[in-house]
Amino acid sequence: MLEVGSAQRVRLRSTKAKPAILKQTPTCPFSAEVTTWEGGGAMLQAASTGHANEESQHITTYLHYHAQSYGVTWTSRFYHGIRGGSCTSAAWWASRGTYPRFPGGTVAGPNVQNVLVQDDLQQTAMSSEHTPLLTKVRVAAPRPRYPHAVLRRFCTVALASILIWFFIAVAVSMTLLEGHSHHEPNDKWSWPGCGKRKLDYDQLQRILLDTPTSKNAEEWSRYYTSGPHIAGKNYSQALWTKNKWEEFGIQADIVSYDVYINYPVDHRLALLKKKKHDDGTSAWKVSYEASLTEDVIEDDPTSSLSDRIPTFHGYSASGNVTGSVVYVNYGTYQDFADLVKANVTLKDKVAIARYGGIFRGLKVKRAQELGMLGVVLYSDPGDDGDITEEKGEKPYPDGPARQPSSVQRGSTQFLSFAPGDPTTPGYPSKPGVPRQPVHTAIPSIPSIPISYQDALPILKALNGHGPKADDFNQYWTRNTGLGYKGVHYNVGPTPDDVVVNLYNKQDYVTTPLWNVIGVINGTIPDEVVIVGNHRDAWIAGGAGDPNSGSAVLNEAVRSFGEAVRQGWKPLRTIVFGSWDGEEYGLVGSTEWVEEYLPWLNHANVAYINTDASVRGTELRTSAAPLLHNLIHAVTAVVPSPNQTVPGQTVHDLWNKQIRTMGSGSDFTAFQDFAGIPSLDIGFIYGPDSPVYHYHSNYDSFYWMEKYGDPGFIYHRTMAQVLSLLAARLADLPVISFRAADYAQSLDHYVKQVEDKLDAALAPRSASALETAAPLLLDDDAYFELRGSTRNTSTTLSAASTSSAETFKASLQRLHEAVAKLAARAAKLDKRADELDEKLRAHIPWWKWPVRLHLGWQVRKVNTKYKLMERAFLFEEGLDGRPWFKHVVFAPGLWTGYAGAVFPGLVESIDDEDWVNAERWVDIIESRLKNAAHRL
Cα 810 from Cα 807, distance rounded (Å):
5
Predicted pLDDT at 840: 85
Contact 327, 491 (CB under 8 A): yes
Question: Cβ–Cβ contacts within 10 Å for residue 178, how many?
Answer: 22
Contact 358, 783 (CB under 8 A): yes
Write out 262-295 in H/E/C secondary structure: EEEEEEEEEEEEEEECCCCCEEEEEEEECCCCCC
Instruction: List, by residue number, the catalytic residues.
Output: 582, 767, 886
Q: Does domain 264-506 have CATH number 3.40.50.1820?
A: no
The DSSP symbol for 712 reads: G
Contact 661, 624 (CB under 8 A): yes
Nearest to 559 by CA among 258, 202, 835, 250: 250
Residues 6+ apart with CB under 8 A from 731: 190, 201, 204, 570, 571, 572
User: How far is CA 10 from each of CA 13, 81, 87, 97, rounded to the nearest angstrom?
Assistant: 10, 12, 19, 17
Fold of 201-258+509-737: Aminopeptidase (3.40.630)
Predicted pLDDT at 7: 38
Cα 271 from Cα 273, distance rounded (Å):
7
Question: Cβ–Cβ contacts within 10 Å for residue 683, how many?
Answer: 27
Between vectors from CA 888 to CA 753 and to CA 928, what angle results, nearest 5°? 95
Residues in the chain: 935
The pLDDT tens digits for 456-487 are: 999 999 999 999 999 998 889 999 999 999 99
Contact 80, 25 (CB under 8 A): yes
**Reported pTM:** 0.80
User: How far is CA 330 from each of CA 138, 373, 441, 493, 793, rounded to the nearest angstrom?
Assistant: 103, 17, 21, 16, 17
Predicted pLDDT at 385: 93
> 512 forms bridges with which residues in the sheet?
258
Residues 197-211 as b or e (16 or more Cβ within 10 Å = b): bebbbebbbebbbeb
Residues of the chain with pLDDT under 70: 1-148, 165-197, 763-799
Predicted pLDDT at 118: 41
Between vectors from CA 472 to CA 466 and to CA 478, what angle results, nearest 5°? 110
The separation between CA 480 and the C-alpha centre of its own chain, rounded to angstroms, equals 40
Cα 183 from Cα 200, distance rounded (Å):
9
Q: Does domain 745-934 have CATH number 1.10.340.30?
A: no
Between vectors from CA 446 to CA 787 and to CA 511, what angle results, nearest 5°? 100
Domain spans, the chain = 11-137, 201-258+509-737, 264-506, 745-934
Cα 926 from Cα 739, distance rounded (Å):
18
Burial class of residue 754 (count of CB atoms within 10 Å of its CB; 0-12, 13-18, 19+) = middle
Element (H, E) at 507: strand 498-520
Predicted pLDDT at 216: 98
Residues 6+ apart with CB under 8 A from 763: 795
Predicted pLDDT at 145: 61
Q: Is 258 helix (H, G, I), strand (E, B) or coil?
A: strand
The pLDDT tens digits for 86-99 are: 444 444 444 444 44
User: How far is CA 641 from each of CA 205, 219, 543, 651, 684, rounded to the nearest angstrom?
Assistant: 18, 19, 19, 12, 14
Q: At what angle do helices 201-210 and 547-565 cross, to 10 degrees?
A: 140
> 528 forms bridges with which residues in the sheet?
573, 604
